[in-house]
Structure 1
Amino acid sequence: MPKLVTVLREGYRFGDFRADFIAGLTVAIVALPLSMALAIASGTTPDKGLITAVVAGFLISAFGGSRFQIGGPTGAFVVVVFNVIAVHGYDGLVIASAMAGIMLIGAGLLRVGTYIKYIPEPVVTGFTAGIAVIIATSQIKDFLGLSMTSEPAEFIEKVMALGAALPGITPQTVAVALGSLGLIVFLRGHRPNWPGFLIAVVLAAALVWLFQLPTDTIGTRFAGLEPTFAAPALPEFTMQRLIVLFPSAFTIAFLAGVESLLSAMVADSMTGRRHRSNGELVAQGIANCASAAVGGLPVTGAIARTATNIRAGARGPIAGMLHAVFILGFMLFAWPLATYIPLAALAAVLLVVAWNMSEIDKFRHMMKAPAGDRAVLLITFALTVLVDLTVAIEVGVVLAAFLFMHRMSEAVEVQSHLHLIDEDVSDSSPRDFVPMQEYELPEGVAASLIRGPFFFGVAMRLGETLDRIGATPKVLIVRMRAVPIIDATGVTALQTMIDRCERNGTKVIVTALQPQPARVLADMGVLARVTRATDFASAIEMSKKMVTEG
């Protein structure tokens, strides 16, 4: 259910519309220069950014699961969009965006939104900071007015090429860029409620026109450009092309899902409201498909614009829809003015965006985390900058998963003070069985205690329990009161131990099962092979009878 429906059902009055009108206009003023700057940084034309903000921004607000989400092009996509266009052309980007949209719709319908929010923080911080570095590097050329026949896509080669071109710095361009950057920083510190990006861009454009400064503008770089909406259509594609573009499409879908849900969570923390994760993913999917159909760029929820929307007094999704309408009005009636905007001013805007994305304070804070988290953070950051965003995300998530499994395995014990995952030892090393201290076990009865989540990361060592016991007991009591969850691998390990006990004539008693392990073990047919006891004391009494009977 879109939040727009919820808001309208609650009763939408003129006062609400007036508040949303002001908020929508405020956000549009912020989004105008950003949308053009991000499109240029992505390797395409500024009108693509505006088209994206209009179509996708309207649809995300209309169908989204957050009252205050503002959607559009964001810095997170700059790297992947630039690479896709460079390798596969703009048609490739359109196909990848449409594929990503379908993935997001499917993820929402399958209710995956709840789980996307649990991407480890070191991974998110690492690739976000890496993207910030790449964006900042990509703006050096326009910031300094360098003359380069071609700009390499690879980071190291790009830095070397920029270094070689430094003697060609244009003083007028640097002055415009530094002036714009200084004004933005000044306004942020002294007039935070003013639209600093727009003011800086407008003043820079006015000065360049007034003094006829020899610096690149949107009009000189993109001569004859007129923003138009393409008729809804997809380029021709083949199965082979879909396979080649799948990694890029997955990266777009992943970034759109993660950033939109992070943005929605920020909005919730600011307003006390609750968003609908899966509804938000469906809206992001619809918006990306629609943006691809009209020749736009990939989109997601924009955290800064969403926060601006809330601070401006928005009451609901109509503010986001109006922000798209205002941008459309600019495209229809004021586009000629955009041709005077200097690219150096937009480069200054993007440098500020990159600085905000880097979240340097969070990065420093994460560097105080345990060594494993620091390793995930730095590896993800380095791979994002030096290799590829897709590889960085894949490796970062896998490393974080291994780190999580290792930590969970250290929390699981079998017997008293015997960890399932322990240091490698020689096969000849003694494995002494530590008996339970709180009860005296009858002759021929052994007991094993499992404490902690019993999952695939630790299940493989369960078989060592009988090795530690030594002599084959007549009855084995498996204490599972402290096992909150069990997965299929844990069940298989338990089943393997039961098989071994049956071959040796050992009967198995399982005590104090919690609801989830009891349900899983019953569904997988394991409980039918063992005897259940409510607690350890009952299991001891049952074991005495079993030993006596034979």
Structure 2
Amino acid sequence: MSANARLARLRSLLPSAADYRGASRTWRRDVLAGVTVGVVALPLALGFGVSSGLTAEQGLVTAIVAGLLAAVFGGSSVQVSGPTGAMVVVLVPIVATHGPSAVAAVTLMAGALVLVAGVARLGRVVSFIPWPVIEGFTVGIAVIIFLQQVPLITSPHQSAAGEHSSNALVAAVQAVAAADPAYLAWGAGAALLVALVMVVAPRIHPALPGSLIGIAIVTALSVLLPTPLAAIGEIPSALPAPALPALDPGTLPGLLPAALTVAALAAIESLLSARVAASMADTGPYDPDRELVGQGLASLGAAFFGGMPATGAIARTSVNVRSGARTRIAAVVHAAVLLLIVLAASGPVGAIPLAALAGVLFVTAVRMVHVATARAILTSTRADAAGFVVTAAVTLAFDLIVAVGIGVALAGLVALRNLSRATGVVREPVPGDPEPGDERIAIVRLDGPLFFAAADRVFDAATAIEGVEVVILRMSRLELVDATGARILSDVVRTLERRGITVLVKGVRQAHDELFRSVGVLSALRDHRHLFTELAPAVAHARSHVLRAAGSSSSPGSIGPSA
């Protein structure tokens, strides 16, 4: 690649004036959408910060800093980024194992990994994740987010990380077992009230921010009434000064697996969100490689301000698009709205009960599960249904990235099995009018892909032919062929030749020619004249071979068939 090409490739990953093409026509809608999504993002940012075992401030700072950087540098015109429920699921065991102080280092490392992935042009990797796996992954995340809120309503001294197990299901059971009955009644009541407002408010008017209204009502009640509900606590009225996170070289190797998990999740979730956004409205295509660059920079920036890892947020991005956003201005305004809240309303925000945030996330988790989608997958094919269920179960029981890996592996095995079944070995009749000796000729047609998963079956079928003197292998219908498949073809030729059967090959595609020569398929033929491009000459040669063989066997002192 030339220097100019490399420079152009690098420039394509950076912001440009083209990012705001059309903003002169849409900026009013963009600003309105940004304000709307900023209001929606506030309780989510606070809730995800607390649920991670960190602080509400860290969630809010992440939404501001990462939301701004991803908006400017990312590959989508309408993506809204910040802390997400999926990331919370990953962070809880990290906080439990390494402590809250390790999150900044993990965020920094993960951001660098995602940035490198973008520069290395790995953005298309998400296309290898099947739809049932993605949906199973989403269902598992939703269940975990729901369970993570249980400790927030059972006791004022418990958080999602707390002193409980890092597994959300076990932690929820432990929290309920140790619950303070009086506090549980208040906490559950507050969460239920917020949930009811979130359900009812959009029915009154779609523009009403139900989560914010519900939180405001519960906060006001907690201030006016003598409730035991624990609140967020004091939040600084300004962003913290940026600083390099404390990095202990001795602990970095131990944090690397966590950083790899966070980076993988950030990349997958962000690319999925950007792809969904691109299909929702005519906002222009998204650049997956640039999206990774933007998300990497977003997490790096969040780390410098003491925040947490960020990803593209599907729920907030959907609100952004449905509110009329068409350019990056909307996501930038969303970050500005959150910053304004920090500067002007940190006191009221600090008084929000944790149980109210739990109510928001309870509803968020439920809304993540689409019953119609799950039903469609479960009634599609057994393989897809199994991938969906297994991914969801493994997500809940173990780890998100492990779940995606197992789901993709399961889908890959099923795809290989189905692909191998598409490989056919068919014996055809000799074309034309029957001639004496045609029964000694076998025409074998190979169809479909020929790769490692189908190789043994092809070998067994092709070499099971008995009672013939010539086999014509028709290869014009072969599609994908890998090295194992080519090697099996050479083994078929050699095996038949060792049994005294002459093999003729017809119709080698140009795309396969080099592979067949390098692996030895063509050199395995008895004579170079046994390679044909048309079937008729191959059949004529086979018939002459059978006749010569018959004449030689009837003559004394025969020396066997010729080429």
Q: TM-score band (shorter)?
A: 0.7 to 0.9
CA deviations on 1:86-118 (whole Å, 9 max, x unpaired) are 112235433433443344334334433224123
Q: Give the secondary structure class of the aligned counterpart of 1:462.
A: helix
| Inter-partner Cα distance in structure 2 for 1:51 and 1:507 | 76
State the match for 2:442 in structure 1. Answer: 446
State the match for 1:325 in structure 2. Answer: 336
- CA offset at residue 54 of structure 1? 1.7
5 Å matches for 1:291-302?
291-302=302-313
| Inter-partner Cα distance in structure 2 for 1:36 and 1:469 | 71
State the match for 1:422 in structure 2. Answer: none
Provide closer, same or farther for how the CA distance between residues 412 and 294 of structure 1 changes in structure 2, counting only shifts above 3 A.
Answer: same
Same amino acid, percent of matched pairs: 34
Provide closer, same or farther for how the CA distance between residues 485 and 140 of structure 1 changes in structure 2, counting only shifts above 3 A.
Answer: same
Q: Give the secondary structure class of the aligned counterpart of 1:275.
A: coil
| Inter-partner Cα distance in structure 1 for 2:153 and 2:535 | 73
Q: Structure 1 residue 465 and structure 2 residue 461: aligned?
A: yes
Q: Structure 1 residue 172 and structure 2 residue 215: aligned?
A: no
| Inter-partner Cα distance in structure 2 for 1:107 and 1:527 | 42
- CA offset at residue 375 of structure 1? 2.2
Provide closer, same or farther for how the CA distance between residues 11 and 150 of structure 1 changes in structure 2, counting only shifts above 3 A.
Answer: closer
| Inter-partner Cα distance in structure 1 for 2:520 and 2:241 | 60
| Inter-partner Cα distance in structure 1 for 2:463 and 2:276 | 52
Structure number with bigger Rg: 2
More displaced 10-residue stretch of structure 1: 395-404 or 360-369: 360-369
State the match for 1:477 in structure 2. Answer: 472
State the match for 2:539 in structure 1. Answer: 540
TM-score w.r.t. length of structure 1: 0.86
Matched residue type, 2:76:
S
Gap regions ≥5 residues in structure 2: 1-11, 549-561
Q: Give the secondary structure class of the aligned counterpart of 2:99.
A: helix
| Inter-partner Cα distance in structure 1 for 2:278 and 2:125 | 17
Q: Give the secondary structure class of the aligned counterpart of 1:469.
A: coil
Pick one of 65, 80, 84 that aligns with 2:90: 80
| Inter-partner Cα distance in structure 1 for 2:413 and 2:512 | 23
Pick one of 489, 492, 495 that aligns with 1:497: 492
State the match for 1:420 in structure 2. Answer: none
Note if contact 2:463-2:492 (Cα within 8 Å) is conserved in structure 1.
no
Q: Give the secondary structure class of the aligned counterpart of 2:206.
A: coil
Matched residue type, 2:400:
L
- CA offset at residue 58 of structure 1? 1.5
CA deviations on 1:280-314 (whole Å, 9 max, x unpaired) are 22222232233234322122111111111112222
| Inter-partner Cα distance in structure 1 for 2:30 and 2:151 | 39
- CA offset at residue 81 of structure 1? 0.7
More displaced 10-residue stretch of structure 1: 494-503 or 445-454: 494-503
CA deviations on 1:123-177 (whole Å, 9 max, x unpaired) are 2222221121111111122235566583332345324323323462423333322
State the match for 2:30 in structure 1. Answer: 20
| Inter-partner Cα distance in structure 2 for 1:295 and 1:396 | 34
5 Å matches for 1:361-510?
361-415=372-426, 434-436=427-429, 442=438, 445-470=441-466, 473-474=469-470, 476-500=471-495, 508-510=503-505
| Inter-partner Cα distance in structure 2 for 1:88 and 1:410 | 48
Gap regions ≥5 residues in structure 1: 416-433
Matched residue type, 1:164:
A
Note if contact 2:425-2:462 (Cα within 8 Å) is conserved in structure 1.
no
Provide closer, same or farther for how the CA distance between residues 117 and 145 of structure 1 changes in structure 2, counting only shifts above 3 A.
Answer: same
- CA offset at residue 248 of structure 1? 3.0
State the match for 1:235 in structure 2. Answer: 247
CA deviations on 1:389-427 (whole Å, 9 max, x unpaired) are 333222222222111111222222112xxxxxxxxxxxx
CA deviations on 1:448-503 (whole Å, 9 max, x unpaired) are 222222222212333213431135744x4332333322223323323433454565
Matched residue type, 1:75:
G
Provide closer, same or farther for how the CA distance between residues 159 and 37 of structure 1 changes in structure 2, counting only shifts above 3 A.
Answer: closer
Pick one of 133, 137, 141 that aligns with 2:143: 133
State the match for 1:100 in structure 2. Answer: 110
Note if contact 2:53-2:100 (Cα within 8 Å) is conserved in structure 1.
no
5 Å matches for 1:11-410?
12-13=23-24, 15-145=25-155, 150-166=163-179, 168-170=181-183, 171-219=185-233, 228-233=240-245, 235-238=247-250, 241-242=252-253, 244-272=254-282, 273-410=284-421
State the match for 1:424 in structure 2. Answer: none
Q: Give the secondary structure class of the aligned counterpart of 2:443.
A: strand
More displaced 10-residue stretch of structure 1: 272-281 or 46-55: 272-281
* RMSD (CA atoms): 3.1
Note if contact 1:77-1:255 (Cα within 8 Å) is conserved in structure 2.
yes
